[in-house]
Amino acid sequence: MEQNRNFIYEEYIDVTEDDKGALQSIQFKNYDRFNFAFDIVDKLAQSQPDKLAMLHIAKNKRTRELTFDDMSKYSSKAAAYFQSLGIKKGDRVMLVLKRHYQFWFAILGLHKLGAVAIPATNLMKQHDFEYRFEAAGVKAIVCTADDNVAYQVELALENTKNSVIKIIARGKREGWESFDRGIQQFSEPFVPEEYAGGTDPSIMFFTSGTTGYPKIATHTFQYPLGHFITAKYWHQVDPDGLHFTISDTGWGKALWGKLYGQWLCEAPVFTYDMDSFDAGEIMDMIARYKITTFCAPPTVYRMMIKKDFSKYDFSALKHATTAGEALNAEVFNQFKSVTGLSLHEGFGQTEMTLAIGTLKGTKPKAGSMGKPTPLYDIDLLGEDGKPAKTGETGEIVVRTNKRIPIGLFDGYYQNEEMTRQAWHDGIYHTGDTAWRDEDGYFWYVGRDDDVIKSAGYRIGPFEIESVLMELPYVLECGVTSVHAKIRGQVIKACIVLIDGVEGTDDLKKEIQRYARKKMASYKYPRIIEFWEELPKTISGKIQHNKL
């Protein structure tokens, strides 16, 4: 059916595919003034007003079906409302809205107005807000009324020089504007005083770096186009299905899986406004709402495979993907054994869209993140700056001397030094390392600053974590090193056990015996620690520097 349809993305994107539908090349067009809210959402509202854009499930399980017409109208109301508060093109507006449907109204409204959206997590505390308000020069914040987030914002503003317009959603609070009441005052359509699109700044993300203060990656209005590959060839979304990406709106993965690429492909998205993750509840949602494509971090799949799959009907699920951290082969194999589906891994960063992945037409290999997409000119560079040979570990880089791919960031906001460190001489350095096999598949090693040097060897923590994750009682695992007089560094494994398993000295010895059997002697962990939970970034990556 899809082959006979004309899709809205065809006005902006040309692709060539092989006879099996695998992507061979991609070209963009008509993007000089591209604005996702006007050019995709509003046009879909005109051509298919009643088409489902989002199925939203509230915390209390209330269901809302939001059409493209709804998204168009409410985003226009939001744009007019923001404008009435004095927000204009180029102003930075922080969005702390969990998985509330108001997030979509707000971000699309900011796109129409030309203001810059800064998605952020509700987990932040006072000092997090203080740093971000100052670093980004935030003009306004739209904040959830849940929990004590607004209170943390108020504490931060006491120590912030610039004044910030405070807007609250889903509740009332003294001294705050009401988003829900405010947008109702305005009718649509919205016509901006100054049009924004193309290379104008549109999105800022505070990077969830594992070390140091977060940097601010800036993306332009062309960024959504870069997620076409993400949705069509990696997620393999169905315009007549329902796509579910597990993600809070406070980090970039939400825009990978809950907005841009999916709606370019005219595929509805599923959103559950949960407070905390429960694997059984998510599995019930997949079954009940007949989710057709699903994406989640490996941690989610690890928790799911500990459950009894026979309780859930996954027959509607046709495709599953994972990203955010490296995928252990054991999780890949167990998920396939109970669902029949191979997990398709992907790699990208806050600074880019999907750069490496197991796309449509590429056979997954357990533990491999796939092959470079046609959008990016990817290479692996060794420590000498020369291309790494097959089987050798190198840093993943993007060559930009011939062209700068749509989807790659515009630089770090007001930080030319950090931008130059990462992006110079026609090469963007990701800071992530991998090796490439003889078939061109990439295998993740780790962050360059996480690599362990022990007894003259360079060891990526992921390969050790993968072995330890094979043990049935290990829920999560993070590997780092501690200083030793002779070896320089010795391996330490920090392990979270599944419920009901006690961390004893005997269990530590059992883990070490298993590790010694499965890996070279210089790699096995000399130190084992049991943790309640591992420190993670906003995007769910283990912070090895805090282990």
User: Measuring CA to CA, which residue among 405, 278, 305, 291 is closest to residue 348?
Assistant: 405
CA 419, CA 423: separation in Å to the nearest integer?
A: 6
Q: Are 302 and 469 in contact (CB under 8 A)?
A: yes
Count of other CB atoms within 10 angstroms of residue 456: 8
* pLDDT of the residue at 301: 92
* pLDDT of the residue at 150: 98
Q: Is the pLDDT of residue 454 over 70?
A: no
**Quick one: DSSP state of residue 542?**
B
Residue identified by tokens 């429960």 is: 278
* pLDDT of the residue at 403: 93
Q: Is the pLDDT of residue 527 over 60?
A: yes
Which helix (DSSP H) or strand (DSSP E) does residue 261 occupy?
helix 260-264
Supply the angle between the helices 461-468 and 505-518 in degrees, to the nearest 10: 120
Per residue in 369-398, pLDDT (tens digit) is 999 999 999 999 998 999 999 999 999 999
Helix, strand, or coil (residue 63): strand
**pTM recorded for the entire structure:** 0.89
CA 181, CA 523: separation in Å to the nearest integer?
A: 59
Tell me, which fold does domain 69-221 have in CATH?
Answer: Rossmann fold (3.40.50)
Residues 417-443: what's their mean pLDDT?
96
Count of other CB atoms within 10 angstroms of residue 421: 12
Per residue in 11-36, pLDDT (tens digit) is 999 999 999 899 999 999 999 999 99
Count of other CB atoms within 10 angstroms of residue 57: 19
* pLDDT of the residue at 482: 84
Q: Is the pLDDT of residue 45 over 60?
A: yes
Cα distances (Å, whole numbers) of residue 469 to 473, 494, 515 = 8, 12, 10
* pLDDT of the residue at 1: 46
* pLDDT of the residue at 540: 66
Per residue in 179-218, pLDDT (tens digit) is 999 999 999 789 999 999 999 999 999 986 555 678 999 9
Per residue in 65-112, pLDDT (tens digit) is 999 999 999 999 999 999 999 999 999 999 999 999 999 999 999 999
Helix, strand, or coil (residue 545): helix
The strand pair at 177-178 and 165-169 is best described as parallel
Beta bridge partners of 411: 218
Answer with the residue of higher pLDDT: 299 or 146.
146
Cα distances (Å, whole numbers) of residue 344 to 28, 277, 372 = 25, 22, 13
Helix, strand, or coil (residue 51): coil
The strand pair at 411-412 and 216-220 is best described as antiparallel
479 φ/ψ angles, rounded to the nearest 5 degrees: -115, 135
Residue identified by tokens 């005109």 is: 46
User: Measuring CA to CA, which residue among 347, 31, 30 is closest to residue 220?
Assistant: 31
CA 61, CA 161: separation in Å to the nearest integer?
A: 41
Residues 254-281: what's their mean pLDDT?
96
Question: Considering only 136-150, 158-172, 484-498, which range has the smallest mean pLDDT?
Answer: 484-498
The domain spans of the chain are 69-221, 451-546
* pLDDT of the residue at 15: 98
Answer with the residue of higher pLDDT: 518 or 81.
81
Name the average pLDDT for the chain: 93
Q: Are 358 and 443 in contact (CB under 8 A)?
A: no
In a 10 Å sphere around its CB, with 0-12 CB exposed, 13-18 middle and 19+ buried, how is residue 454 labelled?
middle
Class of the domain covering 451-546: alpha beta
Token pair listed for 481: 């090193």
The strand pair at 356-357 and 23-28 is best described as unpaired
Q: Are 519 and 464 in contact (CB under 8 A)?
A: yes
In a 10 Å sphere around its CB, with 0-12 CB exposed, 13-18 middle and 19+ buried, how is residue 287 labelled?
middle
